[in-house]
Structure 1
Amino acid sequence: MNAKLDTTVTTRPVTRQTFDEVLVPTYAPAAMVPVRGSGLDLWDQEGKHYLDFTSGIAVAALGHCNPIIVEALTKQANTLWHLGNGYTNQPVLRLGLAMTEATFADRAFFCNSGAEANEAALKLARKYAHAKFGAHKSRIVSCLNSFHGRTLFTVSVGGQSKYTEGFEPLPPQLDHIPYNDIEAARAAIGDDVCAVIVEPVQGEGGVMPGNPEYLKELRALCDKTGALLIFDEVQCGMGRTGSLFAYQGYGVIPDVLTVAKALGNGYPIGAMLTTDELAKTLSVGTHGTTYGGNPLATTVALKVFETINQPAFLERVKEASEKLIAKLEGMVRDFPAVFSAVRGAGLLLGLVVAEPFKGRSKDIQRAAEAHGLMVLIAGTDVVRLAPALIVSDAQIDEADRLLRLAIADLTKA
């Protein structure tokens, strides 16, 4: 039978090899294929169990198949799925109210991803500056080793050349400065800058927290020059650092905040938050999205937001962070040839690889997976841990045990 007409396609056996046969090779996924999840537990096609300390790259903050999220999505799926943007809907209005009431922002724009949220923020900054100051104020400053998305605009703003090679010519008027370098910021941020975009905690760039003095200086420089300060909290927001958003822990208020990932706990949604004054720039027809703010996504996001935005929940994140950091510091002490330091914030943490293992973060990741522990990497020299925010003390202990077994195997080899 012609495979294109095979009505059994939904139940046809598939394996990791199927990825290599039918999907565009933009990723190199692990050999195992997860098929079921619950909380921080995952099982693959062979029935092997894994403890997931990745949460889908800081996405599944409330764990896999969280019952309260499943219930909310199921109820909405039987109510209303989608409307064109000629209409609004109740779930998006409730989510907009919740997010603006909990933050500095007055207005929210909803889209489908972190890249789209950052794209909206950057377009807003350019348009606002052109309208208020003129077309000469168009330069955007970001940081080296940052990551803001994969659209041509956002990947160009991110300061990692490995993601832009072969896609030239890139959008102009984009400059990159070293992260946490105050003097470099002072030299770069002039009157022609329309926006400074920064991650309060760099994720893909190596799990690097921003220095409070640095972020405060960026705020001061933007105030001085009339540039907008954009905080990209796609990875570090939504309780990940122990505050609802990282900016609240730093005490530095941006002009624009972007969020995605954990906002939907795995259901695609992104948001750009800003003030009344700036929101006026994006008048009817200036920007949009077909699916952004749809009832399904915003129903899920509201339940996630309400769950995380509780003092007791955020306090537990801080407690879990302290316990996990203590375990990782013990790892550094016991395996000094493998790890040199722990850095990060909240439950977004990185183990920095020591000189003898430089460039081998992927090897450590694979060794951990072989023992049933899923971890991330952030470049070739950092092992990244981003467990669900509901992680228990027992799961932290188990992750420590499994990672130690993996490192013992590597060091023997």
Structure 2
Amino acid sequence: MLLPHPVLDSLTPEQSAAWHQYFAPEPGGRRPSVEEGIWRRTQDPRNAEQSGWSEDESGRRRVVHYRLHYDLDQTQPMDRLVMAELYLAVSWLAPAAEVAAHRRDLERWLAEGRWRAGDDTDPRWRRGDLYAAITEHDVHPQDERAGRDTPAGFRSIDVTVESVDYTLPRASRNLPWDVLAGGMRVKEQRGAPQYAADLSGLLEHLPFVVEAGCGTSIEAGVQPLHWLHEVYRVTERRGNDLTQGYRFTMAPAQDTLIQELLTGTERKVDDMVAMFRALFQAEPTGAHRTLKALYDAGHAVGPVATHNFDRLFARTGIPEAFMRRYDQRTPHMHYPAGARALLVIGLHADRREVQARARKLGLKVFYLDTEGVTENGVHKEYLIEGAREGDVIVRCEAIPALRRLAELLDVKC
């Protein structure tokens, strides 16, 4: 496995310019060229259906943290988009016998994948430009740091695969464990929102601020975020089924992520970079362009509070306020003076503080969401979790609903 790993060959001049304009590091520290994800799965009575928790079966834990650094390779006649650095860490807490069996599996997979064993001075395995390290603990250092007890008869095992010479700051290494210390995400108690056929109710609450989830990105051809659950084997989910209700990967023997990376490295890395390839190639849709027209007309104000990596709003000319964080501390969202409503597009459970602040300021909250997915011709409901009494939900895809709103406001798109 050699780095940099190609993602897109032969970029057009327009694509190279878009990279420099929208994916370069930004003031304040955000780096759109770094894709990062964290999942922590524990056994708890509140997630018993997914985690397998019971009085006799508890204490298991799986933590996954990845970072992929993308860049332009300009050593060829034409620029190409590459994945320059890779970091993946998987940590298990499980019964000691399962950890021992997993260690044997790992060593077998390393041999099958032709990783070269290290020595006493550096025990890591190496394959091309990647290192793999395995560490076992009776008490995990992060549990010791947090004062968490290790269940009797349990051990932990960590597997890290990273680029040669890659350095991750301590704060970044600790991030998934800080997220773990924050506890489970508490589900919102849904209220009794109203339903409407279209967004005509917004006409009485202008101007409005926009918060956007992955709905507009999916319409642009970017994979939904739950697709990453398959790539990183977070649940038993396969295909386009809803995430809710799928069992977590809670035993080392069920974890195929590391097996796939060690035995079929290039193929698995191709899976890992697929979303970034898609979002970089994506183009703004009619929803983005219609929102830009509404902004230009003064009906929409302020930055779009977005949770998406694709920069599609910025590429449309709309300022973005990036909300995605992994410590469940949503950045402060500024609402311009005079804003009277918040329009939430294609966002379900996460980052609810943006909506809570809007209600606190007296803004009317509108949701634009299909509240479900269609699989094999069958529509399955996926209700908006945090909708409250007084909120309005329009069950519709973004493009037709926003175009209809523009017509009502006599805005040309």
TM-score, structure 2 normalization: 0.26
TM-score, structure 1 normalization: 0.26
- Quick check: which has more Rg, 1 or 2? 2
Higher strand share: 2
Ranked by relative contact order (alpha carbons within 8 Å, sequence separation 6 or more), the top structure is: 1
